[in-house]
Structure 1
Amino acid sequence: MRVEIVIPNWNGRDLLAAVLPTLADQTFGDQLIRVVDNGSTDGSVEYLQAEWPGVEIVAFDTNRGFAPAVNAGLRAGESEYVALVNNDMELEPQWLERLVAALDAHPDAGAATPKQRSAKDRSRLDGAGDALLRTGAPTRRGFNQPDTGQYDTPERVFSACGGAGLFRRAALQDVGLLDESFFAYLEDADWGFRAQLRGWTTVYVPDAVAYHHGGATTGRVPGRERYLIARNHIAFLLKNYPTPWLLRSSPLIVAGLGHMLLTAAREGQGRIVARGWRAAVRRLPATLRDRRAIQARRAVALPALEAAVFGRPTVNGTLMKRLIEGLWLERAIQAALRATGLGGVPPAPATTPVGPPTRYDVGPFTLDAALRYSAVIDLLSDHFHPQVKILEVGSGAGGITEFMPFPVTGLDAAFDRTEGNATPYLTRVQGRAQAMPFADDEFDLAISVEVFEHIPQDARAAALAEMVRVTRPGGRIIVTFPSGEAARRCDLRLNEAYEARYGQPHPWVIEHIEEGVPDTEAMRAVLAEQVGPGGTVTVHRHANERAWLFQQLVYSAREKFLLTFALGLHFKPGARLVFRALRGRNAEPAYRTILVADLAPRDSR
């Protein structure tokens, strides 16, 4: 028997009548079904004996909980794989076949988890594998979202749902069984974390589909689910988080716990959460004993573990940005930056200019806009109208077009790797900055924001010459790039911390270091030669070193901690230093240079 299916049950006779037929219809036939009954009084055992004689039964006299029931079912067998199925699930016929195929194809995977949809509204997701937030809270990916195919790609996830997942027995023997002290809730995430610490991964299989009714058992006892989650969450964190993670993430964890309490209080259940936490404190000695044993058996280096557990931050969606954006801290940071002039954020007019244009409304203030684009926006005051034909070199997924409500041509050699447009007004053209596929004098304005540091040194002059070639006489060119000692210091510190932590160079900073950040005077000289006797080239210094570092600290969940370590900052002392930098330390070296070239008119070019 390759697969044993374990179903914990407590007074779920009607639920068994729904789930067992879907197991009988599975296309994978080499299976045995085992129901572990937790002292049911609704005739569940009698129903199984009468209607499902092929189902193996393990019966308890009392309700011992979900985790003890599962463990009893696991100990009773010896198959290669074990599926854990809640009694409130319904399964598509190929659910088991596809999970088995996934584990066969991934010998390093300790578990496989399906796509779960809501049984009440089958167009909505119930979960697409489990993830772990930086606040320390396990969560179901996509929970209650419409299923539009956003989770149709097989991938590695943090852990498998214990309600319809398939587990490798070798992994169970290595990691251990479920923690029976949890009774119910988070025991599957706890096992998944322990598996990650031992080097076992979890694969998400989107074409294996299960339907979940949800809360059909513990929902019968008011407040029980919230109490168990509050209690077990503390043990989950203390047992599994490596010590550096606990120290580093303590503010986020405290914030997450505060959110849990406030949410419960709004629903009149704050006392239930507090009672769960008190129970967790009483169990603290046993939890710490478990922690010592688990951490002593950790077999994965912390950088690799972090990549496996948290994955890569999403584009424009890092946790730190989500936590602060639109909240009081974001508003405080905005006020501090505006007051000190760091980034030179322009005030936005209430409406789009009519008549002679001045400056387009750049929309909501963000730190990224303050330090990357705001000074450029200032320099475009007479170019923000639809009659101006604009080229952005290295536009990526949007770039400057985020601030423009009219067409812009974007040149980028890597459009196949970008993730959508930030604006519908961008026309994408693939090509190289050193050899542009455009006619002479085609554009009124050519912009390049932080691209030249990624171009080899010996090709930078050719790229500048190309920007001049495609810009009409009397037009304008704006080029921004990190430069000087401030940029070199930042790059070296960030890369050193990244390499020490992740065992490899930082993916884009290493380009700056290997190629060398652009030299301001050399770039200015090339442009000055191109613009002609009647043209001008001006140099602007922008975004001082601390302002740039602070923006990175806030906006990048991954680099936040790297930069913290690189600067020798640690939370409270670090926060004091960072906010001290917001008091107008504008005498510090600038991180970025902006070159503005106004080309000579045709008659003097």
Structure 2
Amino acid sequence: MSVSVLIKTLNEADNIAATIESVLAAIGPEDEVIIADSGSRDATVEIAGRYGVKVVQIAPDEAPSCGLGPQLGFQYSKGEFLCLMDGDMLLDPEFLREATAFLRANPKVAGVGGHVEEMNLENLEFARRKSRGGAEYQAGRVDRLNGGGLYRRAAVEEAGYLSDRNLHGYEEFDLGVRLRAQGWQLHRLDRRFVQHFGYRMNAYALLLRRWRSKYLRGVGELLRAGLGKSHWNSLLRELPELRLWAGVYGGLALMLALLIFVPNKLLAVGLCILLAAFVVLAMSLKHKSLKLGAYAVTAWLFMAAALPLGFFARRRDPKAWIESRVVADAGN
């Protein structure tokens, strides 16, 4: 049973060589590697082309997104299994062997993942991911495969498509909820899948970058994508972010009400500051770090502001062919 390893990239010149080498060391002769590039402006494509793998790149008029990269690779792939990775990850040499064996032994499972080992914990965003954990990161049956994993092609085709090109984030959750709506299951092995190096920049600078790239609109786009679909109720029930955003909107509304209706404006401002300080303190205690607590609250505000922008954004058919070109082909 062949595996197509789909590596999505955007300006990964510093990492792509090591990523490809880790994959080539783990696959067999019947497998394929596809670099799905979303318009890199650095040497990513040139470096990837040296390794005898297939390199495809979106057309200049296509807008990059987190959901576009996997679907781009998928439309050129042939494998019975699909392994999704980013261009700043190193594949564990034994993962594919164990994951394919698990899928063969469990015909109702559509996808299997493993643990994503975060290597760049100096960045508050990646440190926060490790700190907060979450059921979706635990071993066993899960609702999504955050960070990528190995999927059964037949299950993906039944769900309609691999990844929604309209999503700037939450594409793994979208795939998971669509697969589960068809009766499939997802599983996370209690072993490492990849090492992830992530962005080497200040977390607040990364937050601004994600605002500009529309990454933070992912939840709103996800809700819009599921509107009227059979999995709509699952989205509302399973997205903890919705309760969080409701809390953020409620807190902001309370602050606004204090500023409007409390006659003593100095008192109103003081109450707003106390409320904000309480929230930051609560998150700091949860993460055991004042820096992480303050960053978490800041990230909430950015994401809450981005949600309606994502929900009302224009959508394209997620099944439509992504205009692109083959830059390098292992068969030529």
- TM-score normalised per structure 2: 0.66
Query: Is contact 1:193-1:240 (8 Å) kept?
Result: no
Quote how far apart the aligned CAs of 1:256 are: 2.6
In the TM superposition, 1:506-585 aligns within 5 A as none
Secondary structure of the residue aligned to 1:14 is coil
In the TM superposition, 1:151-162 aligns within 5 A as 155-161=140-146
Bigger-Rg structure (1/2): 1
Quote how far apart the aligned CAs of 1:55 are: 0.7
1:273 pairs with 2:304: yes
1:235 pairs with 2:221: no
2:195 maps to 211
1:221 pairs with 2:205: no
Q: Let me know the Cα RMSD of the aligned residues.
A: 4.0
Instruction: Provide the rounded CA distance (Å) in 2 between the counterparts of 1:166 and 1:145.
Output: 25
Cα 1:29–1:191, aligned 2, differ >3 Å: closer, same or farther? Answer: same
Gaps of 5+ in 1: 128-141, 291-605
Secondary structure of the residue aligned to 2:41 is coil
Query: Is contact 1:28-1:94 (8 Å) kept?
Result: no
Instruction: Provide the rounded CA distance (Å) in 1 between the counterparts of 2:232 and 2:68.
Output: 29
1:180 maps to 165
Calculate percent identity across the aligned residue pairs. 20
2:88 maps to 88
Quote how far apart the aligned CAs of 1:65 are: 2.2
Query: Is contact 2:15-2:87 (8 Å) kept?
Result: yes
1:546 maps to none
Query: Structure 2: which amino acid aligns with 1:156?
Result: R
Secondary structure of the residue aligned to 1:267 is helix
Secondary structure of the residue aligned to 1:117 is strand
2:181 maps to 197
Instruction: Provide the rounded CA distance (Å) in 1 between the counterparts of 2:136 and 2:233.
Output: 32
Query: Is contact 2:92-2:192 (8 Å) kept?
Result: yes
Instruction: Provide the rounded CA distance (Å) in 2 between the counterparts of 1:175 and 1:56.
Output: 25
Query: Structure 2: which amino acid aligns with 1:186?
Result: Y
Instruction: Provide the rounded CA distance (Å) in 1 between the counterparts of 2:41 and 2:102.
Output: 38
Cα 1:156–1:29, aligned 2, differ >3 Å: closer, same or farther? Answer: farther
2:267 maps to none
- TM-score normalised per structure 1: 0.38
Instruction: Provide the rounded CA distance (Å) in 2 between the counterparts of 1:114 and 1:156.
Output: 11
Cα 1:239–1:116, aligned 2, differ >3 Å: closer, same or farther? Answer: farther
The superposition leaves residues 262-310 of structure 1 with CA deviations (integer Å, 9 ceiling, x where unpaired) of 6899528746632441341355xx69x99xxxxxxxxxxxxxxxxxxxx
The superposition leaves residues 380-433 of structure 1 with CA deviations (integer Å, 9 ceiling, x where unpaired) of xxxxxxxxxxxxxxxxxxxxxxxxxxxxxxxxxxxxxxxxxxxxxxxxxxxxxx
Structure with bigger RCO (C-alpha 8 Å, 6+ apart): 2
The superposition leaves residues 234-253 of structure 1 with CA deviations (integer Å, 9 ceiling, x where unpaired) of 33664667576689x69x87
Instruction: Provide the rounded CA distance (Å) in 2 between the counterparts of 1:66 and 1:254.
Output: 20
Quote how far apart the aligned CAs of 1:96 are: 1.3
Instruction: Provide the rounded CA distance (Å) in 2 between the counterparts of 1:7 and 1:216.
Output: 20
Instruction: Provide the rounded CA distance (Å) in 2 between the counterparts of 1:117 and 1:96.
Output: 16
Cα 1:188–1:152, aligned 2, differ >3 Å: closer, same or farther? Answer: closer
Instruction: Provide the rounded CA distance (Å) in 2 between the counterparts of 1:76 and 1:158.
Output: 27
Query: Is contact 1:230-1:273 (8 Å) kept?
Result: no
Instruction: Provide the rounded CA distance (Å) in 1 between the counterparts of 2:96 and 2:120.
Output: 22
Instruction: Provide the rounded CA distance (Å) in 2 between the counterparts of 1:259 and 1:25.
Output: 47
Cα 1:191–1:272, aligned 2, differ >3 Å: closer, same or farther? Answer: closer
Secondary structure of the residue aligned to 1:77 is coil
| Number of residues of Structure 1 aligned to a counterpart in Structure 2 | 262
Instruction: Provide the rounded CA distance (Å) in 1 between the counterparts of 2:120 and 2:241.
Output: 33
1:5 maps to 5
